């Protein structure tokens, strides 16, 4: 019985990485109004929703730059809705210093991110880095 319990535990431990949300990973944002872009790490937050923070920033030439937004939440409170859809979240746009009510859609190695404030809406396509 003990061997069976240990075997079940080991097998379930191996399966845990497969249970990660498909949006998890490192994403390259689309260039902003200034030509800058960043890498955002997407993961599941403590509240069970999807979130992501800026880990690296780049200028339009692709050179890494210092930014006060490194470590800042860029995506938060995204609720997985199935079939690669996420809703009821927020996204922060550093170039405009605005937070948008947002949704995301995962399409292969592309993450569509869109959000609105009142009647002003923005859309961007992020590509998977890893």
Phi, psi of 4 (to 5 degrees): -65, -40
d(CA 104, CA 54): 17
Give the class (CATH, top level) of 21-128.
Answer: mainly beta
The set of residues, in sequence order, having a beta carbon less than 8 Å from that of 14 and lying 6+ positions away, is: none
Distance CA 85, CA 108 (A): 12
Closest to 104 (Cα-Cα) out of 22, 46, 31: 22
Distance CA(116)–CA(102), nearest Å, equals 7
pLDDT tens for the 130 residues of the chain, in order: 444 333 333 333 333 444 689 999 999 999 998 999 999 999 999 889 999 999 999 999 999 999 999 999 999 999 999 999 999 999 999 999 999 999 999 999 999 999 999 888 999 999 999 9
The pLDDT value given to residue 20 = 80
Residue listed under structure tokens 């993961």: 43
């Amino acid at each position: 019985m003990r061997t069976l319990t240990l075997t079940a535990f080991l097998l379930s431990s191996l399966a845990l990485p497969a249970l990660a949300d498909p949006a998890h990973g490192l994403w390259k944002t689309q260039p902003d109004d200034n030509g800058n872009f960043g890498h955002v790490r997407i993961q599941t937050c403590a509240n069970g929703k999807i979130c992501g923070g800026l880990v690296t920033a780049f200028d339009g030439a692709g050179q890494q730059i210092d930014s006060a937004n490194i470590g800042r939440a860029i995506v938060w409170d995204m609720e997985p809705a199935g079939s690669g859809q996420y809703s009821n979240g927020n996204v922060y746009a550093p170039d405009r210093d605005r937070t948008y009510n947002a949704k995301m859609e995962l399409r292969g190695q592309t993450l569509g991110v869109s959000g609105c404030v009142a009647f002003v809406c923005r859309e961007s396509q992020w590509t998977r880095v890893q």
